Structure 1
Amino acid sequence: MLAILIGLIIGIGLPIQTSINSRLKFSVGSPLVASLISFSLGTLFLALITIFFDKSLFFSLNLFRKEPVWLWLGGLLGVIYLTSNILLFPKLGSVQTVIMPILGQIIMGLVIDNFGLFDSLVHPLNWSRIIGAILVIIGVVGAVSINQIILYRHKKFLPDRTNNFWYYRLIGIVVGMFSATQTAINGHLGIVLNSSVKAAFISFFVGTISLIVIVAIIHPRLSFQKSKENPWWLWLGGLIGALFVLGNVYLVPKIGTGLAVVIVLVGLIIGSLLIDQFGWFRSAKNPITFAQIVSLLIMIFGVVIIRLL
């Protein structure tokens, strides 16, 4: 029960982080620069936490020789996931930019569990887990799509439908699979280092270095618009992101990658609906509909099936 609660909380925090970083984007003029600031602050926070609990940021260099290369790639996969979503939005629209990666996350999470990839716990795939995953996907599609379908019908927003439309959908699924892989890798890294906080720090550190390189190439000259309109919570995105990674590192060894991914996704949708309902962090209010509530209940039922059957 504690693991499920942690998964829901960090999932709810993810859209909050997105809202904060979206506001930060207006101050720095670039989503990549906003992400870099968020990653950097998250890395600093995790460094302090790691020093407090583990007394050191360092680990034995023999791990580079003994452990596989993929153990250190979690942060890079996180950057790929983040950057790909930014690039896919104008091609797929907001609905499919959310749905396609979620589909990839659920598929890869169940595959990792079934085969014990990346030294994860083995949870054999059975019909109850498949049915539960399908219910979660149906709930996600309903919760995310209801309002956007109305916009599509009224032609208020249309994605760029080119001959490569299915190609972009496939990219969305693949980057979602990368996200689930990152969760599994970071979970195993926590076991190897015998420290969840140190594993989260390393993942964020790798992501920060990757973003520094990307931003240096794309935005060699940074600028920040000083304004009284910049609220104090503008700098909390990195903290929330750090807690998200830390939570996943804790969850994977406890409940497996597949269930961890599914529970976090349910929390993600709950957080998104709450932000829409109350307009938190200066977001536009979009009241929750009855259909979205039903979709959320379907998702929760799917999680219960995966967890208990």
Structure 2
Amino acid sequence: MITSILLALINGGCISICRIINGRLGQETGALNASLWNHLVGFGFLCLVVWLMAATSGSSASIAATLDAPLLAWTGGIIGALFVTLNSYVLPRLGASLTALLVIGGQLLTGVALDAMSRGVNAIQLLGVLLILAAVWLTKRSG
């Protein structure tokens, strides 16, 4: 459990760094070009990693299983590309902190809505979302 928590925290740092880098690239080339290069370089990197993992394990079963995934599962790539594009556009205009707070607020609202549809929501979850949104409002108000 601790390893998963640490990995999630590291992932959050990676997302913040990626947003800043893509936001800077977006200023120079435009949000769509920044997203395109982000995904092309990421695609090349992941191809290399998957190829190395398949070569060392001697199995390509994971690639075949991916091709059998339901159509809805493939929409994650579209949403990921949209996420990078929107961040590349918004971050230079709002700054890293406010963008991060708004993105986290959006993630929390979406998570609570999805939980509500599948298994219900408790008061602590709603309070957490309200605190994040209050932080966004305070940040925006003080700026």
User: Do both proteins adopt the same fold according to a TM-score greater than 0.5, normalized to the shorter chain?
Assistant: yes
Residues 162-201 of structure 1 mapped to structure 2, 5 A cutoff:
169=6, 172-193=8-29, 195-201=30-36
Does the 8 Å contact 2:112/2:126 carry over to 1? no
| Alpha-carbon distance in 2 for matches of 1:307, 1:274 | 24
Secondary structure in 2 aligned to 1:287? coil
Q: Is 1:293 matched up with 2:142?
A: no
Q: Is 1:266 matched up with 2:114?
A: no
Q: Which structure is larger by alpha-carbon Rg, 1 or 2? A: 1
Structure 2 counterpart of 1:213: 48
CA shift for structure 1 position 296: 1.2
| Alpha-carbon distance in 2 for matches of 1:255, 1:212 | 34
Backbone CA RMSD of aligned residues: 2.0
Secondary structure in 1 aligned to 2:80? helix
Change over 3 Å in CA distance of 1:226–1:259 after alignment to 2: closer
Unaligned runs of 5+ in 2: none
Structure 1 counterpart of 2:135: 302
Change over 3 Å in CA distance of 1:181–1:226 after alignment to 2: closer
Change over 3 Å in CA distance of 1:306–1:233 after alignment to 2: same
CA shift for structure 1 position 225: 7.0
Change over 3 Å in CA distance of 1:271–1:298 after alignment to 2: same
| Alpha-carbon distance in 2 for matches of 1:301, 1:91 | 29
Q: How many residues align?
A: 136
Secondary structure in 2 aligned to 1:219? helix
Structure 1 counterpart of 2:65: 224
Which letter does structure 1 place at the counterpart of 2:82? L
Structure 2 counterpart of 1:92: 3
Report Cα offsets for 1:197-246 as digits up to 9, x if no partner: 0111001111111111111111342323776xx54322211000000000
| Alpha-carbon distance in 1 for matches of 2:53, 2:137 | 44
Q: Which one scores higher on RCO, CA 8 angstroms, separation ≥ 6?
A: 1
Q: Percent identity?
A: 24
Does the 8 Å contact 2:22/2:88 carry over to 1? yes
| Alpha-carbon distance in 2 for matches of 1:210, 1:189 | 19
Match 2:77 to one of 229, 234, 238:
238
Which structure shows the bigger proportion of residues in helix conformation?
2
**Poorly superposed stretches of 4+, deviation over 3 Å:** 90-93, 171-175
Does the 8 Å contact 2:26/2:88 carry over to 1? yes
TM-score normalized by the length of structure 1:
0.41
| Alpha-carbon distance in 1 for matches of 2:34, 2:14 | 18
CA shift for structure 1 position 178: 2.4
Report Cα offsets for 1:157-202 as digits up to 9, x if no partner: xxxxxxxxxxxx3x65444222211101101101111x11011100
